[in-house]
Amino acid sequence: MNPLNHIAIIMDGNGRWGLKHKNSRNSGHKAGLNTVEKIIKETIKNKIKFLTLYAFSTENWKRTQSEVAGLMKLFRRYIERETKALFKDGVRVRFIGDRQKLDDKLVSLMDNLELYTSGNDKVHLTIALNYGGRDEVTRAVQRLAFEVEQGRLSHKDVDAETLAKFLDTRFLPDPDLVIRTSGEARISNFLLWQIAYAEMYFTDVLWPDFKKEDFIEALDDYQKRERRFGKIN
Positions in the binding site for ligand IPE (CB under 6 A) = 10-16, 54-57, 60, 71, 182, 184, 186, 188
Cα maximum dimension of the chain: 58
Report yes or no: 201 and 227 within 8 Å, Cβ to Cβ: no
Name the β-bridge partners of 200.
178
Cβ distance to Mg ion smaller for residue 72 or 163: 72
**Residue closest to Mg ion, measured at CB:** 12
Angle, CA 39 vertex, CA 35 and CA 42 arms, to 5°: 145
The site partner of 54 among ligand IPE, Mg ion, none (C-beta below 5 to 8 Å per kind) is: ligand IPE
Among the listed residues 12, 168, 176, 209, the single catalytic one is 12
Nearer to ligand IPE by Cβ, of 74 and 163: the residue is 74
The verdict on whether 121 is a catalytic residue reads no
110 contact, one of Mg ion, ligand IPE, none, CB 5-8 Å limit per kind:
none
Active site residue 23: no
Check: CB of residue 182 under 8 Å from CB of residue 207: yes
Buried b (16+ CB within 10 A) or exposed e, 191-211: bebbbeebbebbbebbbbbbe
Based on CB atoms, which residue is closest to ligand IPE, 43 or 60? 60
Distance CA 194, CA 191 (A): 5
Say how far apart CA 58 and CA 215 lie, in whole Å: 26
Min dist. Cβ of residue 12 to ligand IPE (A)? 5
Residue 199 contacts residue 225 (beta carbons within 8 Å): yes
Q: How far is the CB of 142 from ligand IPE (least distance, A)?
A: 23
Q: Which of residues 5-24 bind Mg ion (CB under 5 A)?
A: 12
Position closest to ligand IPE via CB: 15
Q: Closest distance between Mg ion and the C-beta of residue 54, in Å?
A: 10
Residue among 92 and 180 whose Cβ is closer to Mg ion? 180
181 binds Mg ion (CB under 5 A): no
How many angstroms separate the Cα of 94 from the Cα of each of 168, 208, 231?
10, 23, 34
Q: How far is the CB of 199 from ligand IPE (least distance, A)?
A: 19
- Where are the extended beta strands (E) located within 70-158? 91-96, 123-131
* Catalytic residue, candidates 2, 34, 46, 60: 60
CB of 54 to ligand IPE, least distance (A): 4
Name the residues annotated as catalytic.
Answer: 12, 60
Residues of this chain that bind Mg ion (CB under 5 A): 12
